[in-house]
Amino acid sequence: MAVQFKNMNELVEYLAVLEVRIATLENENNQLRAVHPSAGMDSHTVAKTIARALPQTSLISPGFFKRAFAVWGHFFVANLIISIIVGGAYMCFVMFVLGSFFGGAVQSGQ
């Protein structure tokens, strides 16, 4: 989001708003750390905690090909399910039409 300023006063006001937001967030962060004493972890521990919270799936893997094949696999399974449903409906329709056609031909004696 690129913010365009017309004059220096708008820039100063915008920076003041940001400083208030930062102060509020720092205050909330200090309150959360007071409530949860284990929140004073180092960044490595925080990263491990976040990794445990994320689902273990290849869709969020750092490797490009692993992500690509995971997406392709999901696409393939979804396409297979949709094809089976649409194919089944098509087969029922064809059997109905051909059954009506040949049933009428058989009853008329041809």
Q: What is the mean pLDDT of the chain?
A: 86
Q: Which pLDDT does position 46 carry in this prediction?
A: 75
Q: Which pLDDT does position 105 carry in this prediction?
A: 67
Q: Which pLDDT does position 110 carry in this prediction?
A: 57
pLDDT digits (tens, 9 = 90+) for 39-64: 556 778 877 877 788 888 888 888 99
Q: Compute the distance between CA of residue 100 and CA of residue 88 in angstroms, rounded to an integer.
A: 18
**Residues 32, 37, 41, CA angle at the centre, nearest 5°?**
95
Q: Which pLDDT does position 109 carry in this prediction?
A: 62
Q: Which pLDDT does position 87 carry in this prediction?
A: 97
| pTM of the complete model | 0.47
pLDDT digits (tens, 9 = 90+) for 87-109: 999 999 999 988 887 777 667 66
Q: Which pLDDT does position 49 carry in this prediction?
A: 79
Of the chain, the percentage scoring pLDDT greater than 70 comes to 87
Q: Compute the distance between CA of residue 102 and CA of residue 6 in angstroms, rounded to an integer.
A: 80
